[in-house]
Amino acid sequence: MKHINKKTRRQRKGVVLPLVMIAVVILLVLGTGLLALDFHVRSWAARTADEIASRVGADAGLEKAIYMMNQKLVVKPWNDSVLPMAVGETLPSCDAVFTYKVVKDNNGDYVITSVGASGRFTKVVSAVLEIEGIFDHAILAKDKVILMPNTTITGYNSDDITDTDIDVAIGTISTLDDSISIGPGTVVNGDVFVGVGGDPGTVISGGDSNTAITGVTYALPVAPKFPSITAPPLPDMGTGILTNGATLALTPADSGQYSDIAVLGGIDGRVVVDGGTVVLYVTGDIFLGNDCEILVKPDATLILYVDGSIVTNNGSSISYEGSPQQPKHLQLYATGDLPQTFDLKAKSNWSGVIYAPNVDITVNAKGDIYGSLVANSVEFKSGGTIHYDKALKQLSVDDVGIYFIVKRWTEL
């Protein structure tokens, strides 16, 4: 019996040893596999991180190039003899670097090529730029648009009076109820838009059976930009512009910085702009007394940068004399830090563009309005017609307030 037990124990020992060896081999195989898997996962993660970082670098280079091009636009006149470029710029908290270059191609387009690199990976993106203007709409408001009864919104083309293919739009970036109030009998020969995510059915209110919107009502897919406008460097004239009961002529030689403008003295109080482009930076207010006017002659252009407010009394006017009406000949830009208001009147037609995204504008014209209004809010009291000029979409790199955007984008 003892002999059998000893033999059985020896047999068990003989079986256990191979099992232990097999277990060791299995564990070694599993461990090696896990180590290999961990290595591959780490390598894949590193490659993915480098690939993502290189893409981020390429996009960052593209954004930097657009920013630098827009910075160049601030300096007038435009000069593209030297275009932005950079080599090996780094990104904060990232291993990626980017290189970009802007060139002007044979079509006259500005093309950006941006290369992002991280580790063994590089990404290349290319973009063609175009310029965007600030007067793409008949009315663009941040807050309210109020149109009195029997107002008409329509369009024309001062460059081609036979052109009838005119896209006209008015609207707000607000999404609050009743931000656009349309009076009874008002006709919009075009579109009406509201802010991103807004409901046109609640944002737009008013009207009656005679009210019509011939286009569509919609919510903006992307909020428009409101670029900051500053007055260009101009000589400080050390005074204001004042006339009382007399005609004062302004020519390009009078361009400069003034403390204010006051036109007084009734129907004989006039400022006449003639002989070319006159650029005025007014650090204070502009005031026109009853029946006074600032008149821009057909061969002239008046560009006004205003830090203060504009008040025009009954029968007064700031207007353009030419025909057909060309709004680019009268440009008003609000540049003040403090609250501003523009209260505009016209003896007959009013022609011009106003860019005042933080200003409340009230317009009361006995005739029609020609041009484009950009404001915090717009109240149009005359019950007349607002004519949007399609020619405002014809842009130049020397226009005020323009900026570059991406026209086409490609990953190479």
Give the separation between CA 365 and CA 369, rounded to whole angstroms: 7
Q: Is 314 exposed, middle or buried (0-12, 13-18, 19+ CB in 10 A)?
A: exposed
Cα-based angle 131, 135, 140 (whole degrees, multiple of 5)? 125
Q: List the chain domain ranges.
A: 1-133+395-412, 139-393
Q: Which residue has the higher pLDDT, 108 or 368?
A: 108
For residues 316 and 285, the model is more confident at 285
For residue 39, pLDDT beyond 90? no
As a CATH number, domain 1-133+395-412 is: 3.30.1300.30
Mean pLDDT along residues 398-404: 92
Q: Which residue did the predictor score with more confidence, 162 or 364?
A: 162
User: Which band of pLDDT confidence, cut at 50, 70 and 90, is reported for residue 11?
Assistant: low
pLDDT(14) > 70: no
For residue 87, pLDDT beyond 80: yes
- With tokens 């025909």, the residue in question is 323
Q: Do 375 and 134 form a contact (C-beta atoms < 8 A)?
A: no
| Lowest-confidence pick of 102-111, 334-343, 345-354 | 345-354
pLDDT higher at 30 or 270 = 270
pLDDT of residue 15: 62
pLDDT at 64 over 70: yes
Shortest CA distance to 217 belongs to which of 199, 229, 235, 243?
Answer: 199
